Amino acid sequence: MEHITLLIAIVIVTALAFDFTNGFHDTANAMATTISTGAMKPKAAVAMSAVLNLVGAFLSVEVARTISGGIIDESAGVQPEVIFAGLVGAILWNLLTWLAGLPSSSSHALFGGLIGATIASVGLDAIHGDAVVMKVIVPALVAPLVAGFAAMAATRLTYRVARNTDERATSKGYRAGQIGSAALVSLAHGTNDAQKTMGVMTLALIAGGVLAPDSDPPMWVIASAGIAIALGTYLGGWRIIRTLGKGITDIQPPQGFAAQTSAATTILASSHMGFALSTTQVCSGAVMGCGLGRKGGVVHWSTARRMVVAWGLTLPAAGIIGALGALLAEQGTWGVGAVLALLIAGSIAIYVRSRKEPVDHSNVNDVNGVNDVNGVNDAQPAEAAPAESGPEPAPVPLQVTITRTAPAGRAGEEPSVPDQPTTTV
């Protein structure tokens, strides 16, 4: 029993570590457009998002129930070390995509890790396939499209309504609206994503016999998950904020407001119905939609393609890491220790690599090394360098000659010619 208790503690700590990575990985969902348009300063934006993530964690447990009792069969004999291995797969994939600056889905990393570890340990029968399809895969395909079309329509409507108004005045109003909509997205993110960690922690407690099957998350689980995701959010996932705010399209304040409002509505509706969708995919779809909705707007499809590829790889990649971790963790205490050591070593290696090209609140809006807020290049033009064509020649003096004509002399005399003075300037 002592071994099980220690193992459950390790699982819970690892789950909170995943929640922390989820926070800084997904901060961009709420704050990328607000920061890129200059509606809020970067540090103030992530601080507000962190507080609202914490508040959102206490609003619902529907998604937590989906995780703890919907996808994995609690009665199939899933052990805590299997859940631990699934979390390791999710954390490592989150860190890898963060290093690449790709807004992939933390939710799908978690699902993939848990599904892969469970299949490797217990078998395919322990997975509720219908729940995976209806509550994970279908929302993953539908939600970004819904948010994208909603954002595109909202952007077109916004520009149509404001076409005869002063652009500067409306920009100020939309920036204020962005702050409100960003707050709503942050609240929705806490309501949806923090619950996923609650569900994993509850599943571990059920697997260890601490809680009865079908139990709701205890209050201490809810509070700790909310605090962990809030701390991660405050740290700020600056690499992904740069990609989402600047890499997909050049976002103006009306577009940012439309994108965030559409994303928040989609996320809150899905949380109410218990769909554990990816807030990353919803917000990314909304950003692409707002880019298409503005006349003359440009979507950088190369970045969008990289992002979509990362979405497609997330479930299987995290699943493979989780499966390998489960096979090792099942070898006993030394196996669990080995998986933990690999997690720590991998995390340190990724962090050290990230320090070679740091991105933080001071340069998050830089594009190609130039600060760019709301599409305006803030860099001062450099003075033209003098041409390097050898030594400068000496100045040529300007000579002005003044000639006086002498009067004609008598016959036979040589006319006298006075001196011709020369004035040099």
The pLDDT of residue 135 is above 90: no
* Three-class secondary structure of residue 367 per DSSP: strand
The pLDDT tens digits of the residues spanning 36-57 come to 777 888 888 888 988 988 988 8
Distance from C-alpha of 298 to C-alpha of 159, rounded to nearest angstrom: 16
In 3D space, the residue among 50, 132, 119 whose CA is nearest the CA of residue 86 turns out to be 119
- What Cα–Cα distance (Å) separates residue 24 from each residue in 20, 47, 49, 198, 414? 7, 12, 11, 17, 104
The pLDDT tens digits of the residues spanning 315-326 come to 999 999 999 999
Which phi and psi angles does 299 have, rounded to 5°? -105, 130
* Three-class secondary structure of residue 376 per DSSP: strand
The pLDDT of residue 14 is above 90: yes
Residue 233 tokens, joined: 């959010």
Summarize the confidence of residues 87-99 as an average pLDDT. Answer: 92
The pLDDT tens digits of the residues spanning 386-421 come to 444 444 444 445 454 444 544 444 444 444 444 544
Angle at 286 between CA 17 and CA 300, to 5 degrees: 95
pTM, two decimal places? 0.75
Q: CB within 8 A of 201, min separation 6: which ones?
A: 11, 12, 15, 16, 217, 221, 224, 225
Q: How far apart are the first and last CA of the chain?
A: 105
Instruction: Give the pLDDT score at 385.
Output: 38
Give the pLDDT band (50/70/90) at residue 347: very high
Give the pLDDT band (50/70/90) at residue 176: confident
